[in-house]
Amino acid sequence: MKTTLTTKQREVLDFIVQTIRVTLYPPTIREISSNFKWSSTNAAMDYIIALEKKGYLQRNGVGKSNNLMMSIETRNEYGLWFVANPRKEKVK
Q: How many CB atoms lie within 10 A of CB 70?
A: 22
pLDDT one-digit tens code per residue, 61-89: 666 556 787 777 887 777 776 555 454 44
Within 8 A by CB and 6+ apart from 48, the residues are 12, 29, 32, 57, 59, 68
pLDDT one-digit tens code per residue, 4-35: 999 999 999 999 999 988 888 889 999 999 99
Reduced to 3 states, what is the DSSP secondary structure of residue 81? Answer: coil
Residue spans per domain, the chain:
7-78
Start-to-end Cα distance in the chain: 37
CATH architecture of 7-78: Orthogonal Bundle (1.10)
Task: Give the number of C-alpha atoms closer than 13 A to the C-alpha of residue 70, restricted to the C-beta side.
Answer: 27
